[in-house]
Structure 1
Amino acid sequence: MNNIELPSETQPDITSTDETSLLVVILDSNPGQKMLRDNPHILTHCVDSVIAFANSHLMQKAQNKLAIMACHSKTSQFIFPGPGRPLDVRQIDGQYEAFTNVEKTTKQNLAKILSSETSSAITESLLAGAIAMALCYIARLNRIKPPGAKLNSRILVVTGSGCSASQYMNYMNVFFTAQKQNVVIDVCALDQHLSLLQQGCDITNGLYLKVPQLQGLLQYLLWVFLPEPPIREKLVLPPPVKVDYRAACFCHRELIDIGYVCSVCLSIFCKFSPICTTCHTVFKMPAPLAGKTKKKKKI
């Protein structure tokens, strides 16, 4: 988090009367995603769509702010604004300098992350950690903003990875932290439905969308996720999907319908265990059900 360029406290770039909208986009760039293994060129299309969507957010209002993160298999980094000094960008073909800066900075920093990938092993994406970093970044901006300024923050997760039950507790922690900070979490699923991220959208009053056609990714981003949460109530958006609120057990990290809950630490297990593996509480063995005694007939 120390490589993020933040506005100084003495010369803030927003005044006390401004209402700023901050958008943090988390792009899943893990090469282990199934859709990228089948067709690696899809990542270029996704990056171009995300950059066009991000520039559209900046174009809505001069006070709008943007941050883009790359979520990888081993790390999560901010690729806009990048580390160090910003690039010296000149106008190219009549394009606005701020849009050119977003495009060049994002692609250069993302290329550095992808080029540093040496292992070919398929590992899960660290989405929960990326959301936690985004919440820390939002908290820092809220701390240094001038008195009276209002910062409306939201996070958009663009991923094609599957659900990872091993990150269940991390997901729940960041979801309820975002709810406490009034940060909306939106999710754009590219490949398959994500039940855990559906729960996060429902908890934070965000939007969840499984893209029907990847070729129209930019259209779905502009239609569904570009409007801010207060405006969405007046628009005709896709109907909400039924949220799968199943929990993941702490023993096998699998989603279960019925399980056992520790009465001390509320850990969830799919099978009965005499000792809680989380807090080491010892439980009594369940007593066998007493059978009904038959009444003898009186002769």
Structure 2
Amino acid sequence: MSRLLEGRVAIVTGAGRGIGRAHALELARHGAAVVVNDYGVSLAGEGTGESPADEVVAEIEAAGGRAVANAVDVADFDQAEAMVRQAIEAYGGLDILVNNAGFVRDRMLVNTSEEEWDAVIRVHLKGHFAPLRHAGAWWRNEAKEGRQRAARVINTSSGAGLQGSVGQATYSAAKAGIAGLTLVAAQELGRYGVTVNAIAPVARTRMTEGAFDTSAMALPEDNSPVVAWLASEEAGDVTGRVIEIDGTRITLETGWRHGPSADAGARWDAGSVGPAVRGLIAEGPEPEPVYGA
């Protein structure tokens, strides 16, 4: 097997189970030293007292790889900084950040509580921002000091964020935000040698098993080879992209694009907006259906 990541240092958040665990194992197999982050919470984000990160570290070490456990809350700004610092102090630097941590509290929109909204937005969206902000600042400083690294960020969006998903308004909003964050971060950090991409993985995990029939879904590890390649130096020309992975199929998501337009030549009159908008809708493609619609 080729070792795409020999000598590189990675952080994988939410890596104690499921897709994150598969990512950590795959990166280690390709030669990366891995900081395995997992806060040890239930599917709904409640503390369990477990230490799944330690189990993944033991598995990596048993296979001859290098890894260290980390149990911080990635949505805590200061703890996220400490996690980045741990990677740098343990292995002499940081090359790869895989933002994966998250949980769900699925409800129809009118049944969603403020606490559920805040918790899901926090772990997904702030839990991407905080590690990315601290890693990005370190990479910027390295570049300014003449030590630019071939750094890679792989965020985790979802088809729910790209096409929408009935019963998952909060999760869909968070995952859509991650896609938008990916686009901006790719532009802002590119000058420092950093690429920023996102995946939209499909897999049978704790997060999907309770929502619908998962018997035909891909396995968590089916997503990880794409992450390993995006994390490699070879992928330096790919940034600002969202890639959906569904078993053996990978799809480049095209996202929002400017479609048909109409120009009134002056301020629109409310009465003329309706016919104009309906005309544009007739010209444009049909939107993809929302999951569960």
Question: Which TM class, normalised by the smaller chain length?
Answer: 0.3 to 0.5
TM-score, normalised with respect to structure 1: 0.39
The TM-score normalised by the length of structure 2 is 0.40
Between structures 1 and 2, the one with greater helix share:
2
Which is higher, the Rg of structure 1 or of structure 2?
1
